[in-house]
Structure formats: structure tokens, C-alpha cells
Amino acid sequence: MPTIEQPSHQDDEFAERYAFAKRVALDAAGRAMAFYARRSSLIVEHKGGDLQDVVSIADQDVEAFIRGELARHFPDDGIIGEEGGSDGLQARCIWVIDPIDGTACFLNGLHNWCVSIGLMVDGEPLLGAIADPNHDELFHGFIGRGAFVNDTPLQAHRASHVREGLVGVGTTHRPGKENFLPFISRLLDDGGMFLRNGSGALMTAYVAAGRLIGYYETHLKSWDCLAGLVLVREAGGRSNDFLRGDGLLGGNPYLVAAPGVYEQMAAMVGPSLDSP
């Protein structure tokens, strides 16, 4: 394992929150797994009439657990959650959480789901933890301290062309979906190949781990990627300016990639990458 530089005062100040994020992500993932074992009995609702955008009692219970832990340990911090909305956004520290990212996979017995907990400080992502209980993996990182899966350091892929690896992709019924098929066409024309696993947080973590060379989503929400952005940056990857404009609350087009293919992928996305 590489030598970690002596932490700065800010690192010391937020070390407790880093340990908290890792612990609570694991505890929340264990809680979610108990629901996963009896998923056929869960009550499921559809958000806004969208049959693909689902929420279960498991999502609500796990988010309530995370919020409760935050209220006990860091009551003055703000929070943005997928199910419970936002509160305390004037605070210096804002937690951005997704209790179960990949709910459709969760409910259908697929293993592509996780718990994602990220922290923003002074408007910038500082640390994150993504717990995948199906594979016993905890992805975590802290700006300036590196990124890891369990205890193994993460490193973005060394690819210099999209044909050298797999690209994660995703879209929804939200605005921006019209850019999806043109991107896929350009990727295939350049000899690349793609996959969609249903969890933006996991696909972002996989870019940081070098398992994917990049990941493009036509429109993503902050709770799906805030934690992962820390991992990608610490692993040497690149990202677009996702938080610009109303990105934190409203979401934006999203691209993360290994440094050697970022520009190639950005060109495939085109002007829409910088549009709201």
C-alpha cells in the first residue's frame, strides 16, 4: 500500500466523518440485504407515474436509518437524500445519500445495487463511501488521501482508446434521453462496447477501479454520483462539471472516464455534456 502523506488540519477535522461514512454505509447495506432476502413481499411505489422509477419500503427504511445516524452524530450538517428530500443546505457540510442505488435491480433479484454516502464541504465533494453487500466491497475515498475498494487502492484504467475496454452507459425518461442513441452509435463506430448495470454509483466506482474505462449518463442526480466523484478524482480519472448550475438538486448530464479516453468520450457526447 502506498505511503499516505501526513494529513492536514482539514483532514483531521473531517476524519471522523470519513469513518462515519464508511461505517454507516456498511450498516445500511446490511440493513438493505435483510430486505433484499424478502424482496417479493415489499410494497413498491412508482414515482410520478414512471413505471421504471420505483421506490420500496426498503429504500425508505434505509434512508431513515442513515438520516437518524446523521442526526445523532452531526446534527448541524445538511442532507440531500433521494427519498427524503433536502434540509439544511446552508450548512458548510452537506451529506448526499442514496439508500439503495439500483432499486429496480434490487427488486428484481439482480446484484447491481448499493448504498452511496457522499459529503460535500464548502460546495465541493470531499469524501464518499459506496457499499456493495452482494460482493462484499466497500469503495471509499477522501480527497487527498486516495480511493480504495476495501483496503486495495483504486487506479483508473490506462486505456488510450475506447476500444480498449468497456464503457458504462445509462439513460432514463428524463430530458436528455435523445442524446443516448447517438452516443451509442458513435461509440460503436469507434470500436467501443458498452454495458448498463442499473446503478450509477457502482458504475462510477467501477471507473475509479479501472473495471470500466468510462461511464456516460444522459441525466443523473447527485445522490447517484457524489460519493463516486471523489473516488474517480482520487483514482486519477476525469469528470465533467457535473455540479454546475442546479446540478446538486436537479442533476445534469454526467461523464467520468479514464484520463486517456475522456476527451474521446466527451466528443462522442457532444455539446449536450455541458447543457443543463
pLDDT per position as a tens digit, 129-153? 999 999 999 999 999 999 999 999 9
Element holding 223 (H helix, E strand): none
For residue 42, pLDDT beyond 80: no
In this structure, are 19 and 149 located in the same domain?
A: yes
pLDDT for position 54: 53
Give the whole-angstrom CA distance, residue 26 versus residue 28. Answer: 5
In this structure, are 179 and 92 located in the same domain?
A: no
Q: What is the grid cell recorded at 112?
A: 447491481
User: Residue 260: which CATH number?
Assistant: 3.40.190.80
pLDDT for position 34: 94
In this structure, are 30 and 120 located in the same domain?
A: yes
Q: Which of 118, 153, 188 lies at the terminal end of a domain, its last residue?
A: 153
Torsion, CA 30, CA 32, CA 38, CA 44, rounded to 10: 180
In this structure, are 13 and 148 located in the same domain?
A: yes
**Binding-site residue set:** 82, 98, 100-101, 224
In terms of pTM, does the model score above 0.95? Answer: no
Identify the domain containing residue 270 by its residue range: 162-274
Q: Provide the CA 186 distance to its chain's centre, in angstroms.
A: 25
Q: Which of 105, 125, 153 lies at the terminal end of a domain, its last residue?
A: 153
In this structure, are 64 and 181 located in the same domain?
A: no
Residue 242, SS3 per DSSP: coil
Could you give phi then psi for residue 119, rounded to 5 degrees?
-130, 130
Q: What is the pLDDT of residues 60-86, one digit of tens each?
A: 999 999 999 999 999 999 999 988 889
Q: What is the pLDDT of residues 237-258, one digit of tens each?
A: 999 999 999 999 999 999 999 9
Confidence of residue 275 (pLDDT cuts 50, 70, 90): confident
Torsion, CA 107, CA 85, CA 249, CA 133, rounded to 10: -40
**Binding-site residue set for Mg(2+):** 82, 98, 100-101, 224
Q: Which of 153, 175, 194 lies at the terminal end of a domain, its last residue?
A: 153
Within-domain flag for 231 = yes
For residue 51, pLDDT beyond 50: no
Q: In what order do the strands lie in the sheet with 152-153?
A: 85-87, 78-81, 93-101, 114-121, 124-132, 137-142, 146-149, 152-153
Considering Cα of 126, then 132, then 136, then 137, what sign does the dihedral take? negative
In this structure, are 203 and 146 located in the same domain?
A: no
Give the whole-angstrom CA distance, residue 106 versus residue 84. Answer: 19
Least confident of 31-40, 65-74, 129-138, 200-209: 31-40
